[in-house]
Amino acid sequence: MTPPESPPLPPPDGSAGLSAEGVSKRFGAVQALTDVTLTFPPGQVTALMGENGAGKSTLLRVLTGDHRPTGGRVLLDGRPLDLNSPQDARRAGIRIIPQEPEIIPHVPVAENVYAGALPRTRLRRLDRAGLHRRIVADLRRLGFDKVLDPTLLGSQLTAAQRQLVEIMRALTGAVPPRAIAFDEPTSSLSEHEVEALFALIARLRDEGIAVIYVSHRMKEIFRLADRIAVLRDGRVAGVVRADATGEGELVRLMVGRDLSSLFVRQQVATDRVVLDVQGLDTDDVHGIDLRVRAGEVVALAGLIGAGRSELALALAGDAPIRSGTVTLNGEVLRLRNPGDAIAAGIGLAPEERKAQALFLHRTIRDNTSLVSLGRLSRWRFVRRRQEKDLAQEYADRLRVRAPSVEAEVRTLSGGNQQKVVLARWLARRPDLLILDEPTRGVDIGAKAEIYQIIADLARAGTAVLVISSELPEVLGLADRVVVMQNGRTTGELTREQATEEAVLALAMADDLATTAPAQTGETQ
């Protein structure tokens, strides 16, 4: 292992804060953690980084009582803790804000936040007036009063609001928090909500709480963190000061190699139009004209709520089209359901892979073969050997890290789950592949692999439509950028024209009619 180039941190006081001491964890034949020793000091934000599968989630689960370590121990202020459950960790003041919030759908925000500790009247009935006063006060205290309505039901909450409910649960318990871990907390938050979260984390740090922050977003890490701990292959690869290191060094610590050429950009687009959308109207998008050629990577850019995902769902047959035409390879399609789109040669890897794309309790084999069962079947019976061979071929090609293709998808890291979604469509070989936020929650090493997959698809003649909220990703991947706002396209930019400033100008254009046509890079 190459030692960090930045000045080493002075060793933290082992008697203060939350610590893992020689922690190891094995799941059957898989060694997830090996002799991990880390301290998370009070009053500091420690960023925990590493590739998907490096052991970050396993370490958090050990620290919060969800897993018992195979070896080593967890300490708080130098005292060993016996954590047999998350409840034990919570009683010790250790909290985690999970990436996938657990929400009770049929009760309002207030009852979700205080579940298990609801105020009662003397007759043991729910004290609704007291509950309302409490939630309003806590929302104002935490800075969430402008973004979270306490009367909304759990089923009505957006992904961002569900995350905020989890944060409130962690900060309003009977035992004051001593250490709080945030696991990819901004993956579904708007810019305004992110700012509120960052202000809250700064307050927690100033109050002397140990904050563990897990994210793949370098910009967030350098903004928030005092120190950065990197895991690689279940071991500590290094601990560095955030103000004395850079992205290049962190990448080397995470993946053991330099990724200076992250994007693979080659001009392979042809003149053959694969997708031709004219005047498309749905409930959410209006007057969409769009073309994607064989071998071309087109990025859909825009702010949250611009209508990009809604357009993708319409093209994939999952949202009704009111008017307009969708033509694929010269044939006008009638998209009544996703089956029509798949049969025509359109694939969609949706934004929410766990909720919309994967059967988490089924195997890699099952998930990979899902849209290819027709050619794997004979007399309506699936030929299991061919199915397994297909799944193994694409698991090997995409370097899915798993014991075997019979492993359940829920046991995989986020990056490997995304690779399974991609494997499904590579096995199907669609003419048009739509990738909605393909690298959300994915580490830098897996991102590089996904970018290579996209480049390979384009080189093979697939038309690729990418939706991404990360501007560097949009600019690095796309041959052409189509920008949306309020369900409409506001302009198109060629690769040469596309800059962060130009994309943002189109994404935030208030008057669609006055958007400058001179920046249009595609003639319809």
Let me know: does 169 contact 118? Beta carbons within 8 Å. Answer: no
- CATH tag for 18-100+158-255 (out of 3.40.50.620, 3.40.50.300, 1.10.10.10, 3.40.350.10): 3.40.50.300
Which strands, in side-by-side order, build the sheet including 331-332?
288-293, 273-281, 323-328, 331-332
Q: How many residues does the chain have?
A: 524
Let me know: does 351 contact 316? Beta carbons within 8 Å. Answer: no
> Secondary structure of 79-137 in the HEC alphabet?
EEECCCCHHHHHHCCEEEECCCCCCCCCCEHHHHHCCCCCCECCCCCECHHHHHHHHHH
Determine the Cα–Cα distance for residues 427 and 520; give it in Å rounded to an integer. 35
Q: What are the pLDDT tens digits along the chain (524 aa)? A: 333 333 334 444 445 789 999 999 988 777 889 999 999 999 999 999 887 678 888 999 999 999 999 999 999 998 999 999 988 998 899 988 887 778 888 988 988 888 877 778 877 888 888 888 989 998 888 888 887 888 899 888 877 788 788 888 888 877 788 999 998 887 767 777 788 788 888 988 998 999 999 987 888 899 999 999 999 888 999 999 999 998 878 878 887 755 555 666 677 778 899 999 999 999 999 999 999 999 999 999 987 778 999 999 999 999 999 999 999 999 999 999 999 999 999 999 988 888 888 888 999 999 988 888 777 777 778 788 888 888 899 888 888 888 889 999 988 877 788 889 988 988 888 999 999 988 876 767 777 888 888 888 898 899 999 998 878 888 888 999 999 988 999 999 998 998 888 888 888 765 444 434 444 444 33
Determine the Cα–Cα distance for residues 137 and 329; give it in Å rounded to an integer. 58
Encode 446-479: b = buried (16+ Cβ within 10 Å), e = exposed.
bbbbbbebbbebbeebbbbbbbbbbbebbbebbb
Residues of each domain in the chain carrying CATH 3.40.50.300? 18-100+158-255, 268-345+430-524
Closest to 63 (Cα-Cα) out of 47, 45, 44, 39: 39
Let me know: does 466 contact 295? Beta carbons within 8 Å. Answer: no
Angle (CA) 71-67-97 rounded to 5° is: 130
Let me know: does 436 contact 312? Beta carbons within 8 Å. Answer: yes
* Assigned token pair, 498: 């596309």
Determine the Cα–Cα distance for residues 490 and 510; give it in Å rounded to an integer. 10
Let me know: does 153 contact 105? Beta carbons within 8 Å. Answer: yes
Determine the Cα–Cα distance for residues 112 and 104; give it in Å rounded to an integer. 6
Beta partners for 208?
none
User: pTM higher than 0.85 for the full model?
Assistant: no
CATH topology of domain 268-345+430-524: Rossmann fold (3.40.50)
Long-range contacts, 409-413 (Cβ 8 Å, 24+): 409/358, 409/359, 409/360, 409/361, 409/362, 409/363, 409/364, 409/367, 410/360, 410/361, 412/53, 412/364, 413/52, 413/53, 413/57
